[in-house]
Copies of this chain bind each other. A is one copy, B any other.
Amino acid sequence: MKGWTRYFPILDWGRRYNGGTLTSDLVAAIIVTIMLIPQSLAYALLAGLPAQIGLYASILPLIAYMIFGTSRTLAVGPVAVVSLMTAATASGIAAPGSPEYIGAALALALLSGAMLVIMGVLRLGFLANLLSHPVVSGFITASGIIIATSQLKHIFGISAHGENLPALVGSLAGNIGALNPFTLALGVGAILFLFWVRKGLKPLLIRLGLADRPADLLAKAGPVLAVLVTTLAVVGLGLDARGVETVGAIPAGLPPVALPGIDPGLWAQLAVPALLISIIGFVESVSVAQTLAAKRRQRIDPDQELVGLGASNIAAAVSGGYPVTGGFARSVVNFDAGAATPAAGGLTAVGIALATLFLTPLLYFLPVAALAATIIVAVLSLVDFRTPLVLWRYSKSDFLAISATILVTLGLGVETGVIAGVGLSLVLHLWRSSRPHAAIVGLVPDTEHFRNVTRHAVVTVPHLLTIRVDEALTYLNARWLEEFVLEQAADRPELRHVVLMCSAVNEIDASALESLEAINHRLAEAEVRFHLSEVKGPVMDRLKRSPLLDALTGTVFLSQYQAFDTLSADPSAMDERDGEGMDVFENAQLYFHARGLI
């Protein structure tokens, strides 16, 4: 039973469900539904998809998350960044709005869902670590700028396209002559109104006597108000006859539930973007879920979250939707409105389904500019140039990562931007790992402690060199280890003993083991013995299964003090017999090291 509830968290919370939680969930669901209707339409627009696709993506995916998700309050659905990534990918396949374009968005949801489920079952959630905070922050800032710029065409009533900032700006500038003044007035009005709602409405409502929480929730309903007012303006002033673009006819009725077609060629094209969408969506969603869970002392399971989001995306794919993930603002609203269980998400899905059935005729005269305005105001709050400044002071390599991510995303588009950010972070990490911290250490007088000779007044002996490495020895630093130890030894003609102090070495992998063997052998050629000290238990267990200990010309000392005590009294050269049998070993070494090429 434990196993089942792990994969179906609904079996856990569902058994304790009662009237009290139902009431809480119902209130939250109503509020989130009202907020989600204009959002779903707007993000479908951003993704280059017909408006109803946004509604479809807000029904079945929520039910799937209710069954498989572990967060009590996460609200799943279409979100800005994933919509932008969908648009960037699908527009490389077909013309926006065409059946092939919609098919590509659907296939993206399917692939991304399958990838998330597989990652969840294989417990690969740690791969999300590849997205460092600077990369995520930079990516989202740049995406916000691209999204806001891409929506300006709807505010101006002109056409424009491009997956990156220069292309978008160029396209906008080229078409600005066709500007529609009525559209512009509506769009700018909506933007100003929405900014005022953000800053001024809540204080006003509180001054009018409302309590803090309802005032906050009402202020968050600003976009609904903007949508209502602008729709009425279009109808009342007949603006649709004056070239103001509206949403138009939306097919009423629930989404068609059907298995998406199988198209391996298309899937191959979409594999990388689907992976990026999966990981970006997961990282963001899990951050929101963790933050909200911690506030109520609840727990989420990141690996099961992968399954939950994967199921949501597969649900989107079989019900005419497009990629979804957990959204920040709507989850906070859900949380603040008192959602007690994932059932709030299920009830929201029912709300959206009812809206899809009965409200779509009302959306006919909704101006696209009003939806664009809600997107612009929402995404501009994502743009953050403070973090790069903070990082500049704190860490130059993190600053490099965030700047590269921002610039590449703006200049070359979202997909290249994420890849560049992740790639650069990895390269910087590998660079640091290839040069771990190490110190020559000596004895602190009258103690048994050993410290860095360059920072402390310590005792050393000319024929004894002790090196402490402060990191696991792996293939990333094996070559460095060999170079560092041999370089240090080469500078000391009186040297007879080298001790590698392993107090901070948690691992020695096969590549590092080989480097230790090479060090042992090269030092033996110079008649210097090689010793180890303070090897940790698990590392020693493994070394006992390797040929190193047999070949070692020196000893493995339990403590560094014991090594120092024994060896500082023994300045004698290595016994010649110790060199015997090394030739076989040497040949093996050469063979293993370099047998690659004839």
User: What is the CA–CA distance of A327 and B598 in the complex, to the nearest angstrom?
Assistant: 5
Q: Can you pick out 16 interface pairs between chain A and chain B where the beta carbons lie within 8 Å of each other? A: A39-B598, A79-B597, A126-B431, A127-B427, A132-B510, A133-B475, A285-B597, A288-B594, A288-B597, A291-B594, A295-B525, A381-B595, A382-B595, A397-B509, A437-B506, A470-B506
| Of A205-213, A252-260, A348-356, A388-396, the one with at least 4 CB within 8 A of chain B | A388-396
| Chain B residues with CB under 8 A of A34 | none
Contact B598 A479 (CB under 8 A): no
Please indicate which of the listed interface residues A436, A455, A475 has the most CB atoms of chain B within 10 Å of its own CB: A475
- Pick from B137, B329, B378, B513: contact of A592, CB under 8 Å: B137
A379 adjacent to chain B (CB < 8 Å)? yes
User: What is the CA–CA distance of A259 and B150 in the complex, to the nearest angstrom?
Assistant: 45
Closest Cβ of chain B: how far from A431's Cβ, in Å?
A: 6
Contact A294 B597 (CB under 8 A): no
| Chain B residues with CB under 8 A of A542 | 394-395
User: What is the CA–CA distance of A378 and B595 in the complex, to the nearest angstrom?
Assistant: 11
| Chain B residues with CB under 8 A of A490 | 297
A415 adjacent to chain B (CB < 8 Å)? no
| Nearest neighbor of A294 in chain B, beta-carbon distance | B522
| Chain B residues with CB under 8 A of A287 | 593-594, 596
| Nearest neighbor of A123 in chain B, beta-carbon distance | B431
Closest Cβ of chain B: how far from A116's Cβ, in Å?
A: 16
Contact B384 A507 (CB under 8 A): no
| Nearest neighbor of A474 in chain B, beta-carbon distance | B429
Contact B427 A326 (CB under 8 A): no
Contact B509 A126 (CB under 8 A): no
| Chain B residues with CB under 8 A of A506 | 436-437, 470-471
User: What is the CA–CA distance of A378 and B589 in the complex, to the nearest angstrom?
Assistant: 19
| Nearest neighbor of A284 in chain B, beta-carbon distance | B596
A82 adjacent to chain B (CB < 8 Å)? yes
Instruction: Give the size range of A's interface with the partner.
Output: 35 or more
* Contact A510-B327, Cβ < 8 Å, known A287-B594, A594-B291: no
User: What is the CA–CA distance of A136 and B478 in the complex, to the nearest angstrom?
Assistant: 14
Contact A510 B595 (CB under 8 A): no
Contact A132 B437 (CB under 8 A): no
- Pick from B284, B398, B597: contact of A82, CB under 8 Å: B597
Proximity bits, A554-598, B CB within 8 Å = 1, else 0? 000000000000000000000000000000000001101111111
Proximity bits, A448-492, B CB within 8 Å = 1, else 0? 000000010000000000000011101111110000001000100
Proximity bits, A408-444, B CB within 8 Å = 1, else 0? 0000000000000000011101111111110000000
A153 adjacent to chain B (CB < 8 Å)? no
| Chain B residues with CB under 8 A of A18 | none
Contact A595 B479 (CB under 8 A): no
Contact B509 A596 (CB under 8 A): no
| Nearest neighbor of A506 in chain B, beta-carbon distance | B437
A553 adjacent to chain B (CB < 8 Å)? no
| Chain B residues with CB under 8 A of A507 | 432
A328 adjacent to chain B (CB < 8 Å)? yes
Proximity bits, A29-70, B CB within 8 Å = 1, else 0? 000000000010000000000000000000000000000000
| Chain B residues with CB under 8 A of A479 | 128-129, 302
